[in-house]
């Protein structure tokens, strides 16, 4: 009974946060960031960045990161013609183009509480965007009710790096995608590409139980340990600060005993952010 009560309370809190109205006049100046809690069935986790000055939204970026092998951020992925929305779209516009239209509409209207969506989460109000936008507005509200991102030392953007060669024994080549907002690292995606098409990304293989690390590792499957490492890099604010041992592991991260190839990759990726 107690567990049921706690579950209902949690649902009420989540529901309240989704439907709560945001008063822009009370939002402090700064950069705000939010992203989906998990990857969607299509493999994407969407993100929003909102900059507020003087009680007004002055800039919005809608983007995303993925668990797909070798995928960079969603805007670049779409701009490169890999997403495929333009073919199915009534207005023949790719995802990145429609995302920019939705972001521009929000800056123009300043209506963070916009809710004129149909059952599919779409709206006719935004010229240039026929895709689902309800999730975008939910993330905007989530961002604006969070703490502003502290000022960091990097240039804002999405930074990607991957290993040059596939590992001869495992067949994997690791990748890293780092999200930087207001100069600070806010997200890291550690993933991997397999040498051929017999396997999906390392994240997907691990989540679906095909990677096989859980049987041998005391600290969980690869994706579980990878998440702990990603969080540690975000907390440290700089991958260089992760204390490494000679064998490529670290005692500094309690939830991971794997080799931290992502640290070197994140350092490499962030060279473009300096």
Give the model's pLDDT for residue 55.
96
Report d(CA 204, CA 70) in Å as an integer: 12
Tokens of 76: 């670049």
Residue 26 contacts by C-beta under 8 Å, 6 or more apart in sequence?
Answer: 55
Domain covering 157-273 assigned CATH 3.40.50.360 in the classification:
no
Report in angstroms the alpha-carbon separations of 235 from 230, 231, 232, 238, 253: 9, 6, 5, 8, 11
- The pTM for the full model equals 0.92
Domain boundaries, the chain: 2-144, 157-273
Question: Under a CB-based contact definition with an 8 Å cutoff, are residues 122 and 131 in contact?
Answer: yes
Residue 109 contacts by C-beta under 8 Å, 6 or more apart in sequence?
Answer: none
Question: Under a CB-based contact definition with an 8 Å cutoff, are residues 236 and 242 in contact?
Answer: yes
Give the model's pLDDT for residue 5.
52
Give the model's pLDDT for residue 2.
55
Tokens of 262: 């992502």
**Phi/psi at 142 (5° precision):** -65, -40
Residue 89 contacts by C-beta under 8 Å, 6 or more apart in sequence?
Answer: 98, 130, 131
Report d(CA 255, CA 190) in Å as an integer: 15
Same fold flag, 2-144 and 157-273? yes
Classify 95 as helix, strand or coil. Answer: helix
Report d(CA 88, CA 94) in Å as an integer: 9
Classify 59 as helix, strand or coil. Answer: strand
Question: Under a CB-based contact definition with an 8 Å cutoff, are residues 66 and 77 in contact?
Answer: yes
Length of the chain: 274
- Strand order across the 184-194 sheet: 157-162, 172-181, 184-194
Per-10-residue mean pLDDT of the chain, 274 residues long, equals 51 50 97 99 98 98 99 98 92 97 98 96 96 98 98 99 98 99 99 98 97 83 97 98 96 94 99 98
Residue 232 contacts by C-beta under 8 Å, 6 or more apart in sequence?
Answer: 242, 252, 253, 256
Give the model's pLDDT for residue 234.
99
Fold of the 2-144 domain:
Sufe protein. Chain: A (3.90.1010)
């Amino acid at each position: 009974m107690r567990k049921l009560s706690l579950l209902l309370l949690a649902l009420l809190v989540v529901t309240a946060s989704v439907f709560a109205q945001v008063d822009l006049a009370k939002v402090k100046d700064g950069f705000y960031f939010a992203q989906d809690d998990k990857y969607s069935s299509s493999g994407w986790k969407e993100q929003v960045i909102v900059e507020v000055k003087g009680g007004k939204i002055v800039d919005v970026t809608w983007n995303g990161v993925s668990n797909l092998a070798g995928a960079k951020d969603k805007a670049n992925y779409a701009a490169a013609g890999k997403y495929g929305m333009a073919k199915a779209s009534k207005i023949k516009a790719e995802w990145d183009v429609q995302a920019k239209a939705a972001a521009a509409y929000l800056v123009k209207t300043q209506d963070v509480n916009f809710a004129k969506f149909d059952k599919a989460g779409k709206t006719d109000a935004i010229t240039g965007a026929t895709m689902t936008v309800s999730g975008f507005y939910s993330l905007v509200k989530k961002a604006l009710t969070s703490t502003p991102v502290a000022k960091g030392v990097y240039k804002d953007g999405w930074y990607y790096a991957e290993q040059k060669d596939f590992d001869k024994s495992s067949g994997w080549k690791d990748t890293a995608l780092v999200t930087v907002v207001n100069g600070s690292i806010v997200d890291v995606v550690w993933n991997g590409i397999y040498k051929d098409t017999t396997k999906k990304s390392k994240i997907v293989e691990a989540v679906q139980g095909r990677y096989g690390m859980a049987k041998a590792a005391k600290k969980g499957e690869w994706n579980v340990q990878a998440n702990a490492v990603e969080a540690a890099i975000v907390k440290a604010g700089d991958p260089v600060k992760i204390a490494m041992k000679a064998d490529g592991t670290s005692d500094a991260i309690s939830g991971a005993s794997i080799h931290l190839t992502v640290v070197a990759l994140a350092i490499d990726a962030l060279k473009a952010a300096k």
